[in-house]
């Protein structure tokens, strides 16, 4: 795993949360040590947290379905902007059945909670 961190073309200090679908693998010191050194939070940090597996995997599915599979990218800059645009759309425009067919922004602006 540390070898994967060495291939990044941006500083690891820019990473806030690292997610790998490994469950108990987060007990592995090969992952924990680099994350600790660079003060990166591992995901899932706690059950039901905002970076938990169910939430992250749902967002991963959304990114693949709405972003990756529908687009082609001519530059790395386009590829890097894509997730930001997709997250903005999901937060501000996409209607979620769990939120009564409101966007997350609309849901929180109305003071509602799950």
pLDDT of res. 48: 53
Last residue of a domain, one of 10, 25, 43: 43
> Does one domain contain both 32 and 58?
no
Residue 114 maps to a domain: no
Tell me the residue range of the domain where 13 lies: 2-43
Domain count, the chain: 2
Contact of 26 with 54, CB cutoff 8 Å: no
pTM score, whole prediction:
0.47
Give the pLDDT of residue 45.
55
Whether 48 maps to a domain, the answer reads no
pLDDT in tens, the chain (114 residues): 567 777 778 887 888 877 765 555 555 667 777 788 888 877 655 555 555 566 667 778 888 888 888 888 888 888 888 888 888 888 899 888 888 999 989 999 999 887
14: DSSP letter: G
Q: Do 83 and 101 fall into the same domain? A: yes
What dihedral angle (degrees, nearest 10) is formed by the CA atoms of 49, 106, 65, 6? -50
């Amino acid at each position: 795993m540390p070898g994967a961190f060495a291939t990044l073309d941006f500083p690891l200090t820019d990473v806030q949360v690292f997610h790998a679908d490994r469950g108990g693998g987060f007990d592995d010191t090969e992952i924990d040590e680099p994350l600790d050194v660079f003060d990166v939070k591992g995901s899932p940090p706690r059950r039901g947290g905002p970076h938990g597996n169910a939430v992250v995997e749902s967002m991963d599915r959304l990114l693949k379905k709405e972003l990756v599979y529908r687009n082609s990218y001519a530059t790395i800059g386009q590829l890097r902007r894509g997730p930001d645009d997709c997250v903005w759309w999901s937060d501000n425009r996409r209607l979620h059945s769990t939120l009564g067919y409101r966007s997350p922004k609309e849901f929180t602006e109305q003071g509602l909670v799950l």
